Structure 1
Amino acid sequence: MSNQAEQDPMAKATIAAEELYHIRETYFPANPDEKISKLQTESDLALKLLDSVPPEQRKLPMQRAAYEYLRGKILDVFPDYRKEAEDHLSKAVKLNPSLADAWLCLGNCIWKKEDLSAAKNCFTLALSKGPNKKILCQLSMLERRMAQGTENEAELIEESIHHAKEAITLDVKDGNSWYNLGNACLTSFFVTGAWDHSKLLQSLKAYQNAEKDERMKSNPDLYFNNATVNKYLENYERALRGFEAAALKDPGLNAGEEVQKMVNLLDKLENMLRGHARAKRLASLASSLGAVNLSSSYKQATIDLLVEGLNKAVAVVGKVVFFIKHEGVAPLYYLVCDSNQICFILSLYGTRNDAIKEGDQLSLLEPYYRYIDFSWKGKHYQFKSIRVDFLEQVLVNGKALSPRQAVPTSIFAQHKP
């Protein structure tokens, strides 16, 4: 602390407010009430310091504005809306309308009472004082929140991505800006119909860039969201590592449960494959695979002929051996065997769970093939996997599925205002 800060109560209160927000961003005890209690204690101390500012040092409008801003900021550190915080922040911007930080803080405060358009107005006014990465990130996040359920949702999400990218151009090393862009791309992926995987890959890249910033190491949501995308892309090992890291950083997140769910699922998939791989039933299922009239643009192949990744203009024909129930919502998992009696796991997205049943013959068009092979906590997982993202890629008993069988796929990122 500088000598000036030691003598100057205003400087001391400013430092105390910064430390208070540092606690909010980095302290995640197992019991969330402990965090609120710590914030309460620290904010009381910060307010005491602020009260020690002599009256003559808060007389002039500029001084008074700084004082009101700091008081509002300290009161607004809690997750719930506080009218008292809004009152002080409103006074600050009236006394000094060019105080961008006060506009930003007021916007965050108003957001908590769900007055989204007023919050956006505050962020826009804050930005009018000059470019600022923090404000751009908050505006980007708010736009995603405002987009939910609106007719022009995709348009608003694009605006959110634009502001997220603008923040990065101001400081390419800022982890929070990259994290915010990752969340924006993730939201965009689902809003636009979950078909453009490049959006998901952009999201992962942004999260990886965010992780390079030391300050982001304490952000559990970053690890949780990164793991969520990896889980959706069936990068099982990376997802498990990410969820475990998030659980260690914030026990309050359900990341530990996510790890357990994934391990349960992987164990189930392994057991299914092992249990059915040599079953006599496979021979009869494989021999009952009928000829399929596929359009000439598809070449029929068995699982062992597929290449890693997307297999364009290829179709795999197989029989459903088993529907595998699990704790998650999406995807649907099936044990399928091809004409060579080789079993694989099919993960099917965007389709209702009554669309396909055991014994059905499937033609999987342009399948995405992965050979899963990794170890986790002393257990080795190894299986062939085909992923299908849309019901248009599946023929059941030679027929296309009806659009009524489609369901939207979505996953939700963790992000707090």
Structure 2
Amino acid sequence: MGAGDEGGEDVMAMAGSAADELYTLRDSFFPADILEKDSKLKSLADSALQILDAVPEAKRTSPLQRASFEYLRGKILDVFPVYRKEAEDHLSKAVKLNPSLSDAWLCLGNCIWKKGDLASARNCFSLGLSKAPNKKILCQLSMLERKLAQDSANQAEGVEESIRLAKRAIAMDVKDGNSWYCLGNACLTSFFVNGVPDYNRLFQSIKAYQNAEKDENMTHCPDLYFNCATANKYLQNYQRALTGFEAAALKDPGLNAFEEVRKIVNVLDKIEDAMKVQFRKKNKDPPSSLFAEVSKSSSQGRATIKTLAEGQNKSVALTGRVLHFLKHDDAPPLYYIVCDSEQNCFVLSIYGLHSNALKEGDWVTLLEPYHQSVDFSWKNKHYGFSSIRVDFMGQLLVNGKAPSAHLAVQSMIQAQHKPS
């Protein structure tokens, strides 16, 4: 091999490194001013293209050489968030010249996704996988399946396929943080997919996110912290949610994660204020004999908030009276202040219920209640109260009967669906 051949290969390698550096900047640099990022991307892209153009003509002659050249040019041009036809043209040439170039199929699928042609993007990813296993393609296909499921008649099936694809990616490289992150997003998306909250999926998503954080390459990803915080928020792990949202906001001001912090703090402040008001009024509550009369409708053992263990309490029921409906501007759940038979107040949180289905003064019986003790400090303010979460409508009786008015709420998560 002559010196000219070696030089050409060195330049091609330099162009590849420049393209990788470009994508690292895209995925790790989140300034407050988005124009600053656009400017840096353009500058680095121009430099990468100059390096690529320095590849000698002699190193662009064979179909495989030309395919690599067209792939790199298309990849560099496609780094921007908006669709560029020029990028698609170069990537299309690359896969025609070398159909086995799976990374080119990955880039082409991402490029086509940006212009809204999801079916063609899926076809590109599938063709890439048919050439060789590729964890990055599996992750993108997993993400695309979730996006397609949004408009599907069988959304659950699409989300399950998304989970399967993410698990295939993990099987290829169990230490790859992006694959774990992808699985976390898929599990988080499935939380409400059937209209009933599936808390096992939330626990699975958090575990996946924790595995993703072990990969140093993911420490730059603000969406990882945002989505993990979202899962913790739905599990009412308030302190972890606040910490996660704050970390996401510091990494990427554009995520507006500080607004999520404000919403949670607002809910917590309202809960604390309402609990104080009800504590002062509790002597006016009806005697425990009335609770005993209402609780006869349940064959399970009777409990009070003080006798409940942390977590799920099997074979017991707690009866209480709704004292206050807590209005707030955040996503579900609905919050109520409830008083038990010993006149101890707690917070009741419910998903999937119309706000007018449960009114102040109603009697509620909570079957096998899930109990949490909230006790932490945030920004020099302490929060402490008992909370019961209703996961399924079958766990709730209102005035001795199952509630007749409920609806399937949709998830408000921000799990990312964008191509990357």
- TM-score between the two structures when normalised by the length of structure 2: 0.94
Between the aligned partners of 1:204 and 1:152, the Cα distance in structure 2 is 25
Sequence identity (%) = 63
Is 1:200 aligned with 2:233? no
Between the aligned partners of 1:293 and 1:145, the Cα distance in structure 2 is 46
When residues 82 and 257 of structure 1 are mapped into structure 2, their CA distance, relative to the original with a 3 A threshold, is same
Residue 392 of structure 1 and its aligned partner are, at CA, apart by 3.0
What are the residue-to-residue correspondences of 1:284-299 with 2, within 5 Å? 284=286, 289=291, 291-292=293-294, 294-295=296-297, 297-299=299-301
Q: 1:20 aligns with which of 19, 22, 29?
A: 22
Between the aligned partners of 1:255 and 1:18, the Cα distance in structure 2 is 28
Residue 5 of structure 1 and its aligned partner are, at CA, apart by 7.8
**Matched-pair contact (CA < 8 Å) for 1:308–1:369:** yes
Is 1:233 aligned with 2:254? no
What are the residue-to-residue correspondences of 1:146-165 with 2, within 5 Å? 146-165=148-167
Aligned counterpart, 2:411: 410
**Matched-pair contact (CA < 8 Å) for 1:194–1:409:** no
**Matched-pair contact (CA < 8 Å) for 1:68–1:91:** yes
Residue 152 of structure 1 and its aligned partner are, at CA, apart by 2.7
Aligned counterpart, 1:10: 12
Q: 2:281 aligns with which of 255, 261, 279?
A: 279
When residues 129 and 398 of structure 1 are mapped into structure 2, their CA distance, relative to the original with a 3 A threshold, is same
Residue 155 of structure 1 and its aligned partner are, at CA, apart by 1.9
Between the aligned partners of 2:40 and 2:287, the Cα distance in structure 1 is 63
Q: Kindly provide the CA deviation profile for residues 205-237 of structure 1, in whole angstroms up to 9, marking residues without a partner as x.
A: 110000011111100000001000000000111
**Matched-pair contact (CA < 8 Å) for 1:282–1:341:** no
Aligned counterpart, 1:307: 309
Spell out structure 1 runs of 4+ moving beyond 6 A: 4-7
Q: Secondary structure at the match of 2:131?
A: coil
Is 1:84 aligned with 2:81? no
Q: Kindly provide the CA deviation profile for residues 259-281 of structure 1, in whole angstroms up to 9, marking residues without a partner as x.
A: 11111211111111122212256
Between the aligned partners of 1:407 and 1:106, the Cα distance in structure 2 is 37
Is 1:98 aligned with 2:123? no
What are the residue-to-residue correspondences of 1:115-130 with 2, within 5 Å? 115-130=117-132
Alignment gaps of 5+ in structure 1: none
Q: Kindly provide the CA deviation profile for residues 335-357 of structure 1, in whole angstroms up to 9, marking residues without a partner as x.
A: 11112111111111110111111
Is 1:358 aligned with 2:353? no
Alignment gaps of 5+ in structure 2: 1-5
Between the aligned partners of 1:153 and 1:289, the Cα distance in structure 2 is 42
Residue 320 of structure 1 and its aligned partner are, at CA, apart by 1.2
When residues 377 and 408 of structure 1 are mapped into structure 2, their CA distance, relative to the original with a 3 A threshold, is same
- The aligned amino acid for 1:210 is A
Q: 1:185 aligns with which of 181, 184, 187?
A: 187
Q: 2:245 aligns with which of 234, 243, 246?
A: 243
Tell me: higher relative CO, structure 1 or 2? Use CA pairs within 8 A at least 6 residues apart: 2
**Matched-pair contact (CA < 8 Å) for 2:226–2:248:** yes
**Matched-pair contact (CA < 8 Å) for 2:294–2:363:** no
Aligned counterpart, 2:170: 168
**Matched-pair contact (CA < 8 Å) for 2:189–2:415:** no
**Matched-pair contact (CA < 8 Å) for 1:323–1:333:** yes
Residue 305 of structure 1 and its aligned partner are, at CA, apart by 1.3
**Matched-pair contact (CA < 8 Å) for 1:351–1:390:** no
Between the aligned partners of 2:125 and 2:9, the Cα distance in structure 1 is 34
- The aligned amino acid for 1:265 is V
Residue 198 of structure 1 and its aligned partner are, at CA, apart by 1.5
Residue 288 of structure 1 and its aligned partner are, at CA, apart by 5.2
Paired residues in the alignment total 413
Aligned counterpart, 1:338: 340
When residues 276 and 66 of structure 1 are mapped into structure 2, their CA distance, relative to the original with a 3 A threshold, is same
Between the aligned partners of 2:9 and 2:303, the Cα distance in structure 1 is 78
Between the aligned partners of 1:24 and 1:323, the Cα distance in structure 2 is 45
**Matched-pair contact (CA < 8 Å) for 2:350–2:390:** yes
Q: Kindly provide the CA deviation profile for residues 28-83 of structure 1, in whole angstroms up to 9, marking residues without a partner as x.
A: 01122221221111111111222222223212221111111111000100111111
Worse-matched range after superposition: 306-315 or 228-237: 306-315
RMSD of equivalent CA atoms: 1.9
Q: Secondary structure at the match of 1:122?
A: helix
Residue 175 of structure 1 and its aligned partner are, at CA, apart by 0.5
Between the aligned partners of 1:271 and 1:304, the Cα distance in structure 2 is 21
Between the aligned partners of 2:186 and 2:76, the Cα distance in structure 1 is 29
- The aligned amino acid for 1:179 is Y
- The aligned amino acid for 1:317 is T
Q: 1:49 aligns with which of 25, 32, 51?
A: 51
Between the aligned partners of 2:182 and 2:282, the Cα distance in structure 1 is 53
Aligned counterpart, 1:368: 370
**Matched-pair contact (CA < 8 Å) for 1:349–1:409:** no
